[in-house]
Structure 1
Amino acid sequence: MDPRTELESLFASLREQQAAMVEARRSALAISATATGPKRALTVTVDARGEVTELAFPTEAYRTMAPRELAALIQDTIGKARADVAKQMSEVMAPFVPEGLSFDDLMKGKTDWEAMSPGLPDDLGDLFGRP
């Protein structure tokens, strides 16, 4: 394959990947999750960033809870909703995560980027054999 055709093919592939990433971003931003605590004492909704967007007490069950019990219920229910968002986000982003890694590891900073790219050139001049 001549260099021009190869370059055009690479750019076409890059445009396809870019379009897929734009769609994944759109999907990721639309993610939300709702979790309900035991006895329907609490319902929490979080957005794609895990931020609480809604917190509701659909029953009167919370009124009989001790403060620590209520605090634990709130924390646990928010945690469940955030875990659901993380699972959904992982599914949306899976096509863009290098093989052998997980989106969760990437988000938690558990990725050794240098080990993933041994021997890559420091700049494009190295790539094309220019000084």
Structure 2
Amino acid sequence: MSSPLSNQVEQALAELERQKAAIDEIQGGLHTVYSTVTAKNRAVAVTVDSRGAVTAIKFPTSAYRSMAGPELGELLVDTIEAARGEAMARTVAAFESMLPAGLPMIDLLTGGADPEHGPLPMDKLLTEMFRTAGPTDDPTPSPPAGAH
């Protein structure tokens, strides 16, 4: 006969294995995800992988030929950054099913989380963590026996 604590440990380990398998599956799928952004003037198109590494730069038209060097350089930087932003958003979206609801992951990764505009929803995060770890939705631990 197994104890309630033993059952909880077994359930937690099974959940950990399930989440690890889900993460492995998502990570495996990210190797085939690419984001391509074309500049508004169609002078350049940049492709990045799921990590934001540039994999291709193309010039779909001859518009780049009439651009000054600094202008083309700025256009390349802007287009690369837009492609990286799209890739990051797609990568975060792939992992969202594994994250607690309401966690602003994209903001945390890009530095966009601003504590002055409100704290992270820690109550929701803790509730979600305890929900998956234990049998109740109440994240408040019970006081020790005899404590007042």
TM-score class normalised by the smaller sequence: 0.7 to 0.9
Give the number of equivalent residue pairs. 117
CA distance in 1, matches of 2:69, 2:107: 35
SS at match of 2:41: helix
- Calculate percent identity across the aligned residue pairs: 35
- State the TM-score, normalized to the length of structure 1: 0.73
- State the TM-score, normalized to the length of structure 2: 0.66
The corresponding residue for 1:61 is 63
Runs (5+) with no aligned partner, structure 2: 127-148
Runs (5+) with no aligned partner, structure 1: 118-131
Alignment of structure 1 residues 32-111 onto 2, 5 Å: 32-108=34-110, 110=113
Rate the CA distance shift 1:27–1:106 in 2: closer, same or farther, 3 A.
farther
**Misfit runs of 4+, over 4 Å:** 109-113
Return 53-62 or 92-101, whichever deviates more: 92-101
Please tell me whether the aligned partners of residues 94 and 102 of structure 1 are also in contact (alpha carbons under 8 angstroms): no
Please tell me whether the aligned partners of residues 37 and 83 of structure 2 are also in contact (alpha carbons under 8 angstroms): yes
SS at match of 1:86: helix
CA RMSD of aligned residues (A): 2.5
Please tell me whether the aligned partners of residues 27 and 92 of structure 1 are also in contact (alpha carbons under 8 angstroms): no
